Structure 1
Amino acid sequence: MATDRSSRQAVGTIQTDGFPPVLAAADAMVKAGNVTLVYYGLAERAEFIVAVRGVVSAVEQAMAAGVLAVEATKRGALVSHYIIPNPPGNVDSVLPIHYTSASSDFWV
């Protein structure tokens, strides 16, 4: 179930074609903004996805850095990216975008 804390924060996702760009995006996002990486996984067709959480302004800053990092990567490409400010509790509880025990040490 979603915590009150996570429901007040934005979530940002970047989907890439290939592993190197998603790794570059994840690295750039956590370095550029005060965000927590909450999800990483495979999407369909050998694409990868990474999601971060934090306050809206930090997620916007992190996403901008992540997109630039993907575009600077020589192999792979940006498939999509999206920010959801203040996702409602039902979205947070159903999708894999919530804080977990694995990310709890890095909560922002």
Structure 2
Amino acid sequence: MGMSEALGLIETFGLVYVLEAADAMIKAADVDLVGYENTASGYISVLVRGDVGACKAAVEAGVAAVKKLGEDGLYSHVVIPSPHRDLSKITALYSLDALLGENETV
């Protein structure tokens, strides 16, 4: 993954919240769904990439969607406008391509 694009991330508590967030994010702006990470204790993060404005709009839409379901579902969110290229070492581990295999689709 090239790191010239911004990253948008939302962390929620539970699958329903993260699916709602991801759906709202990719519908609201021209972003690509990078992947997700299911961490301990039920926290799940979703990552998108695109230009800075699109990532900001996507994260705002995702946060609003989660809040509609309940305030307790949202844990954190951030937009990284110009991520360092070394962050790709982390994000690559959680990309959909890595999880599904590069040639597989859902």
Structure 1 residue ranges, 4+ long, deviating more than 3 angstroms after superposition = 97-102
TM value normalised by structure 2 = 0.81
Tell me which residue corresponds to 2:12: 16
Is the 1:18–1:75 contact (alpha carbons within 8 Å) kept by the matching residues of 2? no
Tell me which residue corresponds to 2:87: 91
Cα separation, 1, equivalents of 2:10 and 2:86: 21
Cα separation, 2, equivalents of 1:89 and 1:56: 16
Give 5+ residue unaligned stretches, structure 1.
Answer: none
1:24-35 to 2 correspondences below 5 Å: 24-35=20-31
Give, as a single letter, the amino acid of the residue that structure 1 aligns with 2:22: A
How many percent of aligned residue pairs carry the same amino acid? 37
Q: Alignment partner for residue 65 of structure 2, among 65, 69, 83?
A: 69
Cα separation, 2, equivalents of 1:73 and 1:64: 15
Give, as a single letter, the amino acid of the residue that structure 1 aligns with 2:29: G
- Shift of the 74–34 alpha-carbon distance from structure 1 to 2, 3 Å rule, reads same
Structure 2 counterpart SS, 1:90: helix
Give 5+ residue unaligned stretches, structure 2.
Answer: none
Shift of 1:41: 2.4
TM value normalised by structure 1 = 0.80
Greater share of helix residues, 1 or 2? 2
Cα separation, 1, equivalents of 2:46 and 2:58: 12
Shift of 1:99: 8.1
Q: Deviations over 1:50-87 (max 9, x none)?
A: 00000000000000000000001149510011111121
Tell me which residue corresponds to 2:49: 53
Tell me which residue corresponds to 1:43: 39
Matched residue count: 98
